[in-house]
Structure 1
Amino acid sequence: MRQIARYWLREEDAETPWCPAAVAAIRVTASDLLTPYPWSRQLSDAVGRAGTLLSHVDHSHFEVPPHGMRWLVVVDGLDEVSSPSVRERLLEKLAGQVRSHGPCRLLITSQPLPQEELSPFSGLPGVGFYTLRGFDGEQQHAFAARWFAAQGDPDAGPHAKEFLADVADASLEEVLQVPLLATIAAAFRTRNPDRPLPRGRVELYEMFLADLKNAREGNAEVLSRFLQRWTVRGYGKVAAWLVQHQDRLLTHLARERTTGKPPSSLLDTALEWLARHLPAGLDWPEGARGELGQFLAQSGVVAFDGRELSFLHQSFAEFIAARDEAASIPSDFPDFDRWSRRIANAANGNRLLFTLALWARRPGNDVAVVVRKLLSGRTDHRIMALRLVTSGVPLGEALETTVIERLLDFSHDHAQGRFPDSDHAVLAELAELAELAELSQLRGHRRLAERLRTIATTEGISLSLRAKASRAYARVAHLPEGVRLLKSLAESAGDSDDTLECCRHLEALAPQETPYVVARLGALVTAPNVSTWARLRAASILP
């Protein structure tokens, strides 16, 4: 959006927009589209709430193309609508906008959702699904160097290299592929230059949020000014109580945001919580709504835009809610069956992983209790057990081996050289974890490497799955052999989509293979009988 805006403002160093068609871009949140008003009114209200406009934009402007262009409506945070039924209605509404061919073009962002939820878009012309690519090796180096330079570090280059080496030692390569997690890891290093990096994603979140809390509590000057200001107004006891119970309030907001209820105003939710929990004789003052938002924003996990509160990232809300839930679960995990039913919903994956991992890390809890129950369950339960390993939860060598062996217990028919359909789900999930780099904790695991190589070389499995297995093999076992497998698949690919997938994996894995990728994609772009859409996708991969 910034790129498009700078282009229209004719700024000197503005880049040519990524979107070839002329568009005027606006950003709305998925929650903005849950009001009972017409579409154009919802857009008008959303841009007004942003607080950056000099005057109100009437809803009629969004009913027609602006100056012969189209509106590009970026719908952000679809996954933050945690209620599946509400999300389903919203997706139907958005699909209706696509079918109407109106003045709006849509770009919808979300964490992965269950495939069936996306069915309203099935078969609609002009609809594409994309996965956000993580930082490659070159981008990771650039990010680290710029981060330390921005902190005023006179030795930013050497410190960036040292940071990247520590990331590799901690098996946190997946962290640097995700911009949010890369920022968290770099911020942790800046605040704690002499401490080792956390091992795994769960510990990284845990230490980062602890850092934020320590920084907040250690800033005595800010707290003192807050208390003085409220004491002068006659509300000193209210302010002192709020400071003492800020974490409880943030936990309540996190649970409300992630429990599947229809979204509501977080600031209203906070005020309602205060009305219920402030001690007798204490009341939150009228007209101090904005001051509550400002105070909570000092936590570092929520932002206040002058009107509304929002979590800086949905995963912060998921982690905080999971931490509270994990603390309430007894050591024998008696209600595991109820929890396990949630695993089937992909939208619950992060929060469930955090809950199980944080429960396992609590003193007196035996992680084997949960892992054994997961391993006796369905495929998605076994995948969750593996995610505990890949997220850095210490299981011990024997239990980790059991998890991996149980997951890899496929019914591969060596005589026929194929896998039965029932095992394809496991293969797909395993390959997906590899693509997210979450298998970095398992580097060097011999049997896993053997299985991945078998998947990569087995006829009868989709080439897409074989390509992902090749990429996983490169990460877990041997980079040159994984690259060779991918190049072999690219050369035998029967259609443009398979060629594109192989080239995308090669580009992410091995920058030195850029000339090969360029040659393959160049041949694809100029080949006859290749769709315009495939040519555009090939051009987007070309470096």
Structure 2
Amino acid sequence: MNDLAGGGGVSSAGDAGANAELSHRLRRALADKGMRQSDLAEKADVSKGTVSNALNPDKGVPSQFTLDQLARVLGIEGDSLRELHRLRAEATTDLPTQLRAYLSAAQRAAREHPYPGVLPGIAPPLAAIYLHQRIRHQARADGTRWDTADRWEDASTGTTPTPEPAPALSRTPLGSPAAPGHPALSQKVSADERLSADELLALGTCLVTAGPGGGKSSLLRTLLETGVGDFLQGLTPRAAPVLVPAAALPGRPLAGALAATVNADLSSHGLLEEIRPEFFLAPPSPGVPWLILVDGLDEITSASTRHEVLRAVTAVINGKDAEQYRFIIASRPLPDAEVDSTLGAKASRFDLQPFSFADLRQVARNWFCHFDLPDPDGVAEKFMRALTAASLADLARIPLMASILCQLHAVAPNQPLPAGRGQIYADFISLLYKRQHAAGASGVREQARVTLQRYGSNALAHTEDVLDRLPEVIARLAAGRYAGDTRATMAVVMVQAETSCPAGVPGDEWHAVLKSALQRSGLMTMHAGELVFLHQTLLEYLAARHACRSPASRARTLEKAFTHVRWQWPWSADNLGSAKRLIPRRLLIPPHGDDSSYIGFLIDVAQEQDPEATGLHLQRLAADGNIEGCRFLAEQAQLGTTIPASAARAAAETCALLASRPALRGYWRLEAAEILTRIDHHSAIDLCIGLAEDQTIRSDWRLRAAEMAADIDTGRGAPVFAALAADPTVHAGARIHAARHVISYDNEHAADLLVSLASNRDLSRESRVNAAERLADLDPTRAEGACTALLDNAALPPYLRIAILDLLIQLGDQLPEEPYEALLQDPDLDVRLPEQANEPPLADA
């Protein structure tokens, strides 16, 4: 049975009269049909308990799914069905008082945009700007590049190749295997998919990762608003969401952590009565779990504390209350070992994808509509052209960067956009400070003057001096936070010499003035009763500014960041192709991946102050065959960091050398080529095409090389797919995938290739059937011919014959009588074939 309704309804405290009338009408319809409850359950594809609950008003309100299933079987339709829906909606609107109070406050909080604003009064509702991003299921950590259905035998050895680690920068390949534990969902999102909030709410426990500013907080707030809205609108809720920062979870029971967070965060959004931990110990409604939305796991700097959070989540989802709680955890990418040792296979893992260019145009239009700019479509087009002119089009696909750049463009639409991530943040923070210190009654200086003027001119002069130094104070605070200082913000600020209290001013008044100035800086906000930075990247940028506050401090910081070394035994000629040596060599190690965003800001700020400050450090990282250093530079370039030309040239030379070395193992050559595409794609295309044509490396890597070449230049790279599809030395699965790529530029040629593959007797029977299935989407007529030819093969096993017959049914063809009869008479085959071509696909009996 497919009991999607669970064992209960939406509300155990719904309107008694409406629910009683709903149950009465269902019982009467059941009696009119002369059916038993068990018959109704079977025909409606729900459990007997679900039917019993729906007919008993004391058991709560049936879900929308259950009601529609029962109505379908009982023949209730038209006005009668609409009346049942009305009764159900009326019965579900009377939520328990405390649950309604929580949901209403959470809904108001969720509507706030999580990104900072510049222009006065522009804080837009999140829904006015937000656009659902695509998600992609993460590949397995073992680097497996194809799922079981797409595995192939090596044409030269007749064996299935052993998976080797995929290059660290590789994209998730076509046919990526699904994460264990969620096969159906994994198939749904194995490629990039744009899932609605409702679909995401239906996910099991999962980890969603994205880079800095990648849209994680916006996603969780959207899930929060959608989930609580389902309750408040009387819809069938999938879960009751609760948003909580990861830092609130360690060291206390889950229910206590949720209660403390909700009370602190929602008191300013209309929550009038304190919620106690017991509120979260019971389901919000029968059969409906709590969905814990955990934000900012990566912002916990201690790996052991992050492990504690993940271990606590794992204990809950493995415990006796597993059905009562689900989790969606948002984080920057984490080391696989951290997740594997806790969540393991219990949670699916997804990557949140950047905006497409079409998405970016729509998001920009949404911003400009909110600004009430004339002709928002025209302004959005002008903005897109400005991004291209500043080489920011890729960087702007990151949601936070899109938000900031749209605001900068709205302020100065005729000015060129800043170059690079560091300069974008510098300009943005400059606008924030200008807003803070604006003249007039709303400016922070005037507010402070009104508050403190009765204490005399000396106090006012001291206050002006403190406000002038406030950017330094905030930068020092950011540096402390980045280094792990967890003290309360005001406790840190009040003891600094730059913010000392003016003589004669009471401490509590001075505390209030400073707190107001910090909160109105645009960089900080109140969260759980504490002043925190509005976004982690703002903290990182300001921490980098503090590290570069003087030439001496800058030099010390850069030296510490870029002089980590590892002594490594020399890579010989049959490994990385460098000359053999008798002693180990000193290899520079790039900064740790967890620090990449901060390091990127450090590079940008240092170069802004001194263009020569970072060049030598970065150039040395990329030299002497150091692929780790090249990878680091490529990742920084993707973040939007401005890489010095000398370092970029060194990295390009190293990658070109490694990718062209035949003695180097194939996946290292592929990684070097992929890194090169991100540093100097013009020089990378020839190397990518050469790798795709190289018969000494694995077929899946050759296919990936062709994909990289086509990404750079379709005109040159795409024809390589046709050559791969026709190459008998390439594995069958890769040949089929290559033929599918050909579809994007030549349908007829792609169909010819798939026909050839389906009729190629040198390929495995499974591969030939797979080719016929792919052909069906492109050319049904030729696919029917290929299927008929395959059925003539007497050695074709029954399960493949069934697959072909099923395909013929879908194509609308008549079933051939001979194989049809043979399958029906096979005593060892536990299947039944449909009598007519328009019946459902073949299924187990």
2:633 aligns with 385
1:300 aligns with 522
**Cα shift readout 1:22-68 (whole Å, capped 9, x = no counterpart):** 2100100011113x322211111111111232322221222232222
Supply the distance in 1 between the matched residues of 2:263 and 2:379 (Cα, whole angstroms).
Answer: 43
2:231 aligns with 8
Amino acid aligned to 1:244: D
Supply the distance in 1 between the matched residues of 2:723 and 2:257 (Cα, whole angstroms).
Answer: 50
Q: Could you list the runs of 5+ residues in structure 1 that have no partner in the other structure?
A: 530-543
**Cα shift readout 1:319-361 (whole Å, capped 9, x = no counterpart):** 1111221334549946655313484522111101111222122
Using the TM superposition, give the Cα deviation of residue 193 of structure 1 relative to its aligned residue in structure 2, in angstroms.
Answer: 1.8
Amino acid aligned to 2:245: T
| 1:131 partner SS | strand
Supply the distance in 2 between the matched residues of 1:255 and 1:327 (Cα, whole angstroms).
Answer: 11
1:62 aligns with 280
Supply the distance in 2 between the matched residues of 1:95 and 1:325 (Cα, whole angstroms).
Answer: 38
Q: Does the C-alpha gap of structure 1 residues 165 and 306 become closer, same or farther in structure 2, counting only changes over 3 Å? A: same
Q: Does 1:251 align with 2:475?
A: yes
Supply the distance in 2 between the matched residues of 1:62 and 1:332 (Cα, whole angstroms).
Answer: 49
Using the TM superposition, give the Cα deviation of residue 136 of structure 1 relative to its aligned residue in structure 2, in angstroms.
Answer: 1.2
Q: Decide whether the 8 Å contact of 2:310 with 2:343 is kept in 1.
A: no
Supply the distance in 1 between the matched residues of 2:240 and 2:399 (Cα, whole angstroms).
Answer: 26
Q: Decide whether the 8 Å contact of 1:361 with 1:393 is kept in 2.
A: no
| 1:109 partner SS | strand
Q: Decide whether the 8 Å contact of 1:80 with 1:257 is kept in 2.
A: no
1:74 aligns with 293
**Cα shift readout 1:96-128 (whole Å, capped 9, x = no counterpart):** 233325321111111122222223335333x11
2:19 aligns with none
Using the TM superposition, give the Cα deviation of residue 182 of structure 1 relative to its aligned residue in structure 2, in angstroms.
Answer: 0.5
| 2:658 partner SS | coil
Q: Does 1:116 align with 2:337?
A: yes
Q: Does the C-alpha gap of structure 1 residues 335 and 245 become closer, same or farther in structure 2, counting only changes over 3 Å? A: closer
TM-score, with normalisation over the residues of structure 2? Answer: 0.51
| 1:327 partner SS | coil
Instruction: Say which of 174, 182, 185 aligns to 2:402.
Output: 182
Supply the distance in 2 between the matched residues of 1:495 and 1:65 (Cα, whole angstroms).
Answer: 47
Instruction: Say which of 391, 414, 427 aligns to 1:171.
Output: 391
**Cα shift readout 1:192-216 (whole Å, capped 9, x = no counterpart):** 2221011222222222222222333
Q: Does 1:23 align with 2:239?
A: yes
Amino acid aligned to 2:685: A
Amino acid aligned to 2:492: T
| 1:409 partner SS | helix
Q: Decide whether the 8 Å contact of 2:395 with 2:401 is kept in 1.
A: yes
Using the TM superposition, give the Cα deviation of residue 471 of structure 1 relative to its aligned residue in structure 2, in angstroms.
Answer: 5.8
Equivalent residue runs for 1:124-163 within 5 Å: 124-125=345-346, 127-163=347-383
Instruction: Say which of 416, 438, 443 aligns to 1:196.
Output: 416
Deviates more, 1:63-72 or 1:90-99: 90-99
TM-score, with normalisation over the residues of structure 1? Answer: 0.76
Amino acid aligned to 1:255: A
Using the TM superposition, give the Cα deviation of residue 71 of structure 1 relative to its aligned residue in structure 2, in angstroms.
Answer: 0.6
Amino acid aligned to 1:402: A
Using the TM superposition, give the Cα deviation of residue 422 of structure 1 relative to its aligned residue in structure 2, in angstroms.
Answer: 5.4
Equivalent residue runs for 1:395-406 within 5 Å: 395-396=644-645, 399-406=647-654
Using the TM superposition, give the Cα deviation of residue 299 of structure 1 relative to its aligned residue in structure 2, in angstroms.
Answer: 1.3
Amino acid aligned to 1:478: D
Task: Kindly tell me the number of residue pairs found equivalent between the two proteins.
Answer: 488
Amino acid aligned to 2:644: L
Instruction: Say which of 86, 95, 106 aligns to 2:305.
Output: 86
1:239 aligns with 463
Q: Does the C-alpha gap of structure 1 residues 253 and 399 become closer, same or farther in structure 2, counting only changes over 3 Å? A: closer
Q: Does the C-alpha gap of structure 1 residues 162 and 38 become closer, same or farther in structure 2, counting only changes over 3 Å? A: same
| 1:198 partner SS | coil
Q: Does the C-alpha gap of structure 1 residues 262 and 358 become closer, same or farther in structure 2, counting only changes over 3 Å? A: closer
Equivalent residue runs for 1:364-383 within 5 Å: 365-376=612-623, 378-383=626-631
Deviates more, 1:70-79 or 1:466-475: 466-475
Supply the distance in 2 between the matched residues of 1:325 and 1:122 (Cα, whole angstroms).
Answer: 36
| 2:394 partner SS | helix
Supply the distance in 2 between the matched residues of 1:165 and 1:470 (Cα, whole angstroms).
Answer: 30
Using the TM superposition, give the Cα deviation of residue 152 of structure 1 relative to its aligned residue in structure 2, in angstroms.
Answer: 1.2
Using the TM superposition, give the Cα deviation of residue 232 of structure 1 relative to its aligned residue in structure 2, in angstroms.
Answer: 4.2
Supply the distance in 1 between the matched residues of 2:424 and 2:264 (Cα, whole angstroms).
Answer: 33
Amino acid aligned to 2:530: E
| 1:303 partner SS | strand
Instruction: Say which of 658, 662, 686 aligns to 1:450.
Output: 686
Q: Decide whether the 8 Å contact of 1:329 with 1:359 is kept in 2.
A: no
Q: Decide whether the 8 Å contact of 2:239 with 2:291 is kept in 1.
A: yes
**Cα shift readout 1:265-306 (whole Å, capped 9, x = no counterpart):** 3344334447x8516847772377565433212211212258
Supply the distance in 1 between the matched residues of 2:692 and 2:541 (Cα, whole angstroms).
Answer: 35
1:207 aligns with 427
Amino acid aligned to 1:79: D
Using the TM superposition, give the Cα deviation of residue 423 of structure 1 relative to its aligned residue in structure 2, in angstroms.
Answer: 5.8
Q: Does the C-alpha gap of structure 1 residues 112 and 25 become closer, same or farther in structure 2, counting only changes over 3 Å? A: same
Supply the distance in 1 between the matched residues of 2:333 and 2:725 (Cα, whole angstroms).
Answer: 26
Q: Decide whether the 8 Å contact of 1:360 with 1:366 is kept in 2.
A: yes
Instruction: Say which of 304, 327, 348 aligns to 2:595.
Output: 348
Equivalent residue runs for 1:311-330 within 5 Å: 311-330=533-552
| 2:549 partner SS | helix
Supply the distance in 2 between the matched residues of 1:285 and 1:493 (Cα, whole angstroms).
Answer: 76
| 2:507 partner SS | coil
Q: Does the C-alpha gap of structure 1 residues 467 and 138 become closer, same or farther in structure 2, counting only changes over 3 Å? A: farther
Amino acid aligned to 2:378: P
| 1:304 partner SS | strand
Amino acid aligned to 1:50: D
Supply the distance in 1 between the matched residues of 2:733 and 2:390 (Cα, whole angstroms).
Answer: 39
Q: Does the C-alpha gap of structure 1 residues 371 and 69 become closer, same or farther in structure 2, counting only changes over 3 Å? A: same
Q: Decide whether the 8 Å contact of 1:333 with 1:370 is kept in 2.
A: no
Q: Decide whether the 8 Å contact of 1:91 with 1:120 is kept in 2.
A: no
Q: Decide whether the 8 Å contact of 2:706 with 2:718 is kept in 1.
A: yes
| 2:345 partner SS | coil
Supply the distance in 2 between the matched residues of 1:493 and 1:354 (Cα, whole angstroms).
Answer: 45
Using the TM superposition, give the Cα deviation of residue 90 of structure 1 relative to its aligned residue in structure 2, in angstroms.
Answer: 2.4
Residue identity over aligned pairs, in percent, reads: 20
Using the TM superposition, give the Cα deviation of residue 4 of structure 1 relative to its aligned residue in structure 2, in angstroms.
Answer: 1.5
Amino acid aligned to 1:44: A
Q: Does the C-alpha gap of structure 1 residues 150 and 411 become closer, same or farther in structure 2, counting only changes over 3 Å? A: closer
Supply the distance in 2 between the matched residues of 1:243 and 1:159 (Cα, whole angstroms).
Answer: 36
Q: Does the C-alpha gap of structure 1 residues 82 and 481 become closer, same or farther in structure 2, counting only changes over 3 Å? A: farther
Q: Does the C-alpha gap of structure 1 residues 324 and 148 become closer, same or farther in structure 2, counting only changes over 3 Å? A: same
2:560 aligns with 338
Q: Does the C-alpha gap of structure 1 residues 456 and 268 become closer, same or farther in structure 2, counting only changes over 3 Å? A: farther
CA RMSD in angstroms comes to 4.2
1:419 aligns with 665
Q: Does the C-alpha gap of structure 1 residues 157 and 232 become closer, same or farther in structure 2, counting only changes over 3 Å? A: same
Using the TM superposition, give the Cα deviation of residue 89 of structure 1 relative to its aligned residue in structure 2, in angstroms.
Answer: 2.5
| 1:352 partner SS | helix
Tell me which structure has the larger Cα radius of gyration.
Answer: 2
Amino acid aligned to 1:250: I
Amino acid aligned to 1:371: L
Q: Does the C-alpha gap of structure 1 residues 219 and 334 become closer, same or farther in structure 2, counting only changes over 3 Å? A: same
